[in-house]
Amino acid sequence: MNSLDLIRKFRAALPGVQVWIDTLLEENKKQAVPVINLAFSRLQKVFSADLLNNAKAVVVTGKVPFPPLSRMGLPEFAQMETMSMAGITYKDTFFVSYLHQTESLHFHEMVHVVQWERLGVDDFLLAYGVGLMQFGYRDSPLEQMAYSLQEGFERRNLPPGVVDLIRQKTDAIWASVAPRLLKV
């Protein structure tokens, strides 16, 4: 299957993915804790109180939730479903494994929260999906950004104005994805 066909299929599956996400978030509403309430003082130096108040974290003891994409007509992503992930973000809420409740992981997921907020649900999913198809998980642009900033966070070597930087980089990623979608 060529990549345009795959993008077309991915787009067709999006409404189902959105329903899956909304159901997941609804089911976990009570367990979701605003990130500002967690004892992570360095996050508060990087992100505004507003952002940390809106963003929520859910700790999970099993696997972090991932949409059953192969059942949604996208068997190409089956490998992602079995991947063991430390954390994952859907809109303003992220899920972290209880084994990985580090400030660094929370930073990584906060980068995704800002990306989701910047792009909105549809465009985030499209940009993320196209990035996955093109580069694989680790090198997909939205992940690559999160991992490289996370490295800066760990080394205490973040550039100033990180949130603005995330927004700018996210816009640039979208600008590179959007022309590909027009051809579909």
Contact residues for Zn ion, defined by CB under 5 A: 143, 146
Residue-by-residue DSSP string for 89-121: EETTEEEEEGGG--HHHHHHHHHHHHHHHHHHH
Measured at CB, which residue is nearest to Zn ion?
Answer: 146
Nearer to Zn ion, 15 or 135 (CB): 135
Q: Identify which of residues 80 and 184 has a Cβ nearer to Zn ion in the complex.
A: 80
d(CA 51, CA 118): 12
Closest CB to Zn ion among 117 and 143? 143
Q: How far is the CB of 4 from Zn ion (least distance, A)?
A: 26
Min dist. Cβ of residue 94 to Zn ion (A): 9
User: Shortest gap between Cβ of 175 and Zn ion (angstroms)?
Assistant: 21
Give least dist CB 106 to Zn ion, A: 12
Q: Which helix (H) or strand (E) holds 34?
A: strand 33-34
Q: What are phi and psi of 86, to 5 degrees?
A: -80, -30
Closer to Zn ion by CB, 9 or 104: give it: 104
